[in-house]
Chain A
Amino acid sequence: MMLGRILPASIVGLILFFLAFPIVVVAIVSFSSATYLTFPPPAFGLRWYEAYFSNPDWLKPTWVSLWVAAAVVVLATFLGTLAALGIARLPKGLRIVAASLILSPLIVPGIVVAIGIYYAYARYGLVGTPIAMVLAHTCLAVPFVVTSVTASLSGIDPRLEQAALSLGATPGATFFQVTLPLIQPGVLVGALFAFITSFDELIVALFISGTGAVTLPRRMWDDLRFQIDPTIAAVSTLTIVLTAALMGAAHLLRKRAERNRTAISSAAA
């Protein structure tokens, strides 16, 4: 196409290089054999992965992060899916108020959320407990569940539910046998987003993880204050692989759901 003539591919290539290169460098540095941070590495090895997997100071925060994220997934997916089902049928005024409250963590600056939560949670002695991390991260994860489930709800052909009801299914049976299977990919995508939101979260963790619930990002942050040895590169590479795998899964799930939906709709028609 003629756009090509005014937009040399090399410019786009350079900007894409700018986007990808820092991530690639972190991955390469993580396999360095050097005891300090240097690029390109003099030789390659797994010493920084060994350093990570043999150090309880790294492994303990990793488990805290994984457990907190898992609990957030359960809580946020349950509350978020229920709410998405309700919000779609609320009267308009109420729906806008509810959606604004639920989606606001996407807009309110992270530091404002973090110190607000710290201010209140400190009063009730929650700071430094994994429970506080779960309670706070759930609020940040819920918008992703609600938007994902709402999107899959809006894609459902209403005739499918009507057909079930008119064939004598109870509203409960209609929900469990028709609606729920149809929104299931949306629920799963929301759950994956919830996991990553919690697993990667740092600002709230800085204020409320205290000494009793240090998460992996918080541990990385503390470490960076004193040194930037390549252990962090190894940890970073592992988290990049984990989040990219989960996000890739979410992406594929969403695409498959879109294809299925059109297939079901055209079969029903």
Chain B
Amino acid sequence: MSEVVQPASLALAVSRPKTSPFDWRRAVPLLLAAPLLIYMLVFYALPVVAMLLRSVNDPTWTLSHYATLLDDVVFQKTFWITINTSVTVTLGCLILGYPVAMGLVRAKSMAPFILVVILLPFWTSVLVRSYAWMVLLGRHGLVNEALLALGMIDRPIRILNTPLATQIAMIHILLPYMILPIANALRQIDPSLIRAASGLGSTPFMTFRQVILPLSMSGVAAGTLLTFVLALGFYITPAMVGGPRDITLSMLIAQQVDQLNWAYAATLSAVLLATALAILAVARKLPGVGNAFRTSMR
């Protein structure tokens, strides 16, 4: 046997245990994750996929269910209401959320109090918050009573069961999803940049426009996309406080399932899911958003 070990055979000797299919240690991570992955497949993913397949295999393999959507007036009206509501709610959240995010980051002794006020509704269920708006916006609710007392109206006006009620309640529910990513982005701005801007003679408004706003855009984008995608799927709130005729895509899907119209419900579900995933796919391409998105999902 030669004393000189060839480099090639040394490499082979070292790498052999690694490439051996019997090295159980390499399988440990997969074995740990496997129970959950199998569980999620069996009790969640495969059921959803099986349901979605009804859109293309009912009664035989066909794309006709999707084709009929093109001249389906009910679907188009519903889809438009859903998009319209989501856009309005997202804009509302942005307008109300940005100042609060700035207030939260700027506040010193008040910061814990502001955080609690933001998080308390965040931790309350959507059902309870929608119920709160039923109480406030009803015919004899606080808002009507206040408007009557102020003499702004002569008799109670209808706010509950209108699109406006849906928008107000959804803005209330989704606002924290906008505030938290923006506050995250604002917190990461180097304060010396703001001092430098004002030291160089910039007015507070110019500093905001040219320093703070551009540097917080990743948070704005993350908050906007998160809010919009969540708004697309809203079901409970529009069903509880919205108008009887202003149904969202989620409500139409539920209605079709009640009528056991599975092919149509599955087609609508596929459209809703594809819309949400398409927006997220675009979002991941934007610089900085992916990161801000992941931290805010926690």
**Which chain A residues have a beta carbon within 8 Å of chain B's beta carbons?**
1-7, 9, 11-12, 15-16, 18-23, 25-26, 29, 37-39, 79-80, 82-83, 85-90, 94, 98, 101-113, 115-121, 135-136, 138-139, 142, 146-148, 151, 196, 200, 202-203, 206-207, 217, 220-221, 224, 228, 232-233, 236, 239-240, 243-244, 247, 251
Contacts and interface: CB of A to CB of B under 8 A. Distances in A.
B196 interface: no
B132 A9 contact: no
A154 B34 CA distance: 20
A28 to B, nearest CB: 10
Given A20-B121, A244-B123, A109 B132 contact: no
B123 A26 contact: no
Contacts of A107: 229, 276-277, 280
B67 interface: no
B50 interface: yes
Interface of B: 28-37, 39-41, 43-52, 54, 96, 99-100, 102-103, 106, 114, 117-121, 123-129, 131-136, 138, 140-142, 145, 172, 175-176, 194, 198, 204-205, 207-208, 212, 229, 232-233, 235-236, 240, 250, 253-254, 257, 262, 265, 269, 272-273, 276-277, 280, 297-298
Nearest to A139: B44
A39 B175 contact: no
Contact of A233 (B46, B135, B205): B135
A138 B39 contact: yes
A109 B233 contact: yes
Contacts of B240: 224
Contacts of A121: 47
Given A39-B145, A109-B272, A85 B99 contact: no
A251 B50 CA distance: 38
Classify the secondary structure of A's interface with B.
Answer: helix
B87 to A, nearest CB: 17
Nearest to B39: A79
A2 B135 CA distance: 40
B50 A111 contact: no
B236 A203 contact: yes
A115 B265 contact: yes
A256 to B, nearest CB: 15
A23 B51 contact: no
Contacts, number: 249
A97 to B, nearest CB: 9
B127 A221 contact: yes
A1 to B, nearest CB: 6
B34 to A, nearest CB: 8
A217 B130 CA distance: 12
Given A12-B103, A15-B100, A23-B124, A117 B40 contact: no
Contacts of B54: 119
A19 B52 contact: no
A146 B294 CA distance: 13
A233 B207 CA distance: 46
A91 to B, nearest CB: 9
Contacts of B133: 22
22 contacts: A1-B106, A3-B212, A15-B96, A18-B172, A19-B175, A22-B129, A82-B32, A83-B33, A83-B37, A87-B29, A87-B33, A90-B29, A98-B37, A109-B269, A111-B233, A111-B235, A112-B52, A118-B257, A135-B43, A139-B40, A200-B125, A207-B257
